[in-house]
Structure formats: structure tokens, C-alpha cells
Amino acid sequence: MVKNMKKKKLLKEETSLKLDLGCGINKRVGFVGIDILSLPGVDQVVDLTKKWPWKDGTVDEVNCSHTVEHFTWPERVHFFNELYRVLCPKGVATITTPHWSHACFYGDPTHKAPLSEWYAFYLNKEWRKTQAPHAPYTCDFDWTFAGSWDPWLESKNQEFKQYAMNRNVNSWRDLIVTLTKKE
């Protein structure tokens, strides 16, 4: 019995699919690198604005860093609905984007629209029911968010950092949203 449980656990670990969406040349170790461009480190070239090639519920974990801001709003709706479709129940996705209040978002001419913490609310079905029934999402995620601060804040204490990130532009550099697929 214990031997069979170990085999099942090992098989699950061996078949665990972890995707790094929009990885560019910086694919995360242990992940399958996905990008629209054929670059060093990219394992699969995929246009994430179209139907994704993975089956429903087959992906355990996703990393997506500095990619979603390159999509239009309708493309983002598609992205999060497809993410929900391919993630397994309780699958986790870490989405990192430039924060709307930081100049790094506005410096790249390929960025389409900024993101704030509010976008995560729309990814939760219960919240949408009462607050945004018009939103075309079909996904249902629980979420948490965090941020990374700009280097000028490195030497400051935590209280000052938090104050600056909530009040000043160019303080909150990245928005990091962790999504967990609800069953």
C-alpha cells in the first residue's frame, strides 16, 4: 500500500506541468518556457491570445512575469479564462506586472494598458456576481497580491516603504498577484 502511494506521488511529480508564460530569454528553472517568439530558452512558441494548446485541468503551476501588460483588455479576459481552464483544481499562477503607478510601465511602447490591484477582484466569480456582472470572465480564482518596491526604498524601514507604496508614484514597481483556481 505504501509502495503504491509512493509510486502515485512520484508519477504525479513526474507529470506535473509547470508553465512559464511569456518567458522570453529568462525561463524559470523547472518550468516549460512559453513565448510568442522563438528565443533561447523557449520550449514552445504559443500565441496566448488564441486558444491554448493544453488540455483542461492539466497545468499545476504557472509563472507569468511581465507579459499580461502586453495584452489589450479583451486579450486579458481571454488570458485569464484560458488560465482558469488549463489549471488543475487548486493550481496556482503567479502573475507579475509593472504597477500602474510606476514609470517602468510607461517606458515600454509595447505595453497596452496598466494594471492595478483591482483587476484581481474581477477574477473571482462571487465578487463579480454583485459588483461586475457585466464582466465577460468565466474564471474563478482566489487571490492575494503583493508588490516589489523601487530601489530607492531599499534602505527605508518597512513602515516607510508601505506608506510610500500606497501614496507615491515610482514606489511600487511590480504588482505580484497569486491566483489559486477554485474548485
Q: Is residue 10 part of a domain?
A: no
Give percent of the chain above pLDDT 90.
80
Distances (CA, A) of 97 to 13, 24, 182: 29, 14, 22
pLDDT, tens digit (0-9, with 9 covering 90-100), for 13-51: 446 899 999 999 999 999 999 999 999 999 999 999 999
75: in domain: yes
Distance of CA 138 to the CA centre of its chain: 16
DSSP-assigned letter for residue 180: E
Residue 87: inside a domain, yes or no?
Answer: yes
pLDDT average, residue stretch 76-95 = 98
> Is the separation of the CB atoms in 176 and 66 below 8 Å?
no
Q: Is residue 159 predicted with pLDDT exceeding 70?
A: yes
3 is a domain residue: no
pLDDT band at 183 (very low <50, low <70, confident <90, very high): confident
pLDDT tens per residue, range 170-179 = 898 999 999 9
Q: Which amino acid, residue 181? A: K
CATH code assigned at 137:
3.40.50.150
- Flag whether 7 is in a domain: no
